[in-house]
Structure 1
Amino acid sequence: MANPHLLILGPPGAGKGTQSSNIAAEFGVEHITTGDALRANKDMDISDMDTEYDTPRAYMEAGDLVPDAVVNAIVDEALNSADGFVLDGYPRNLDQAEELEDMTDLDVILSLDVSRDELVDRLTGRRVCDDCGENYHVEFNQPEEEGVCDECGGELIQREDDNEESVNNRLDVFEENTKPVIEHYQDHDGFVAIDGEQTPDEVWADIDAAIDERV
Structure 2
Amino acid sequence: MTAPTMRLRKAARIILVGAPGVGKGTQTERMLARYPQLSSISSGDLLRDNVRQRTPLGIQADSIMRTGGLVPDTMILRLIRNALTTRGWLIPQEGVQPFTVNSVSTSFTSPDEHLTVPPLHSENRSQEFSFSNSPDASFILDGFPRTTSQALQLASLIPINMVIHIHTPTSIILDRICNRWIHPSSGRVYNTTFNAPRVDGKDDVTGEKLIQRDDDKPEVWRARLQGFEENSAPLLRHYEEKGVLWRVQGDSSDEITPKIFEEFGRRFGA
Q: Is this a same-fold pair by TM over 0.5?
A: yes
Q: Is the 8 A contact 2:47 2:79 kept in 1?
A: yes
Residue 208 of structure 1, CA deviation: 0.7
Match of 1:204 in 2: 257
Matches within 5 A, 1:24-103: 24-28=32-36, 29-42=38-51, 43-46=54-57, 54-81=59-86, 83-103=137-157
1:167 and 2:175 are equivalent in the alignment: no
Bigger shift: 110-119 or 138-147? Answer: 138-147
SS at match of 2:41: strand
Change (3 A) 1:80 1:208: farther
Residue 204 of structure 1, CA deviation: 0.7
- Please give the per-residue CA displacement for 1:73-93, whole angstroms capped at 9, x wherever unaligned: 223333444542112332111
Bigger shift: 100-109 or 60-69? Answer: 60-69
Backbone CA RMSD of aligned residues: 3.3
Match of 2:107 in 1: none
Q: Is the 8 A contact 1:30 1:86 kept in 2?
A: yes
Percent of paired sites with the same residue: 30
Residue 213 of structure 1, CA deviation: 0.4
TM-score where L is the length of structure 2 = 0.63
- Please give the per-residue CA displacement for 1:159-198, whole angstroms capped at 9, x wherever unaligned: 442222322232232122222211211234432111132x
Q: Is the 8 A contact 1:111 1:192 kept in 2?
A: yes
Q: Is the 8 A contact 2:144 2:150 kept in 1?
A: yes
Say which structure is richer in helix.
1
1:191 and 2:191 are equivalent in the alignment: no
Match of 2:134 in 1: none
Change (3 A) 1:134 1:176: farther
Number of aligned residues: 203
Change (3 A) 1:165 1:63: farther
Residue 19 of structure 1, CA deviation: 0.3
Greater C-alpha Rg: 2
Counterpart pick for 1:138 among 171, 174, 192: 192
Q: Work out the CA distance in 1 between the residues paired with 2:184 and 2:43.
A: 23
1:182 and 2:236 are equivalent in the alignment: yes
Bigger shift: 85-94 or 166-175? Answer: 166-175
Match of 1:114 in 2: 168
Match of 1:12 in 2: 20
Q: Work out the CA distance in 2 between the residues paired with 1:201 and 1:140.
A: 15
Change (3 A) 1:102 1:165: same
The one-letter amino acid of 2:30's match is: N
- Unaligned segments of structure 1, at least 5 residues: 47-52, 150-154
Q: Work out the CA distance in 2 between the residues paired with 1:156 and 1:97.
A: 42
Change (3 A) 1:142 1:93: farther
Change (3 A) 1:27 1:179: same
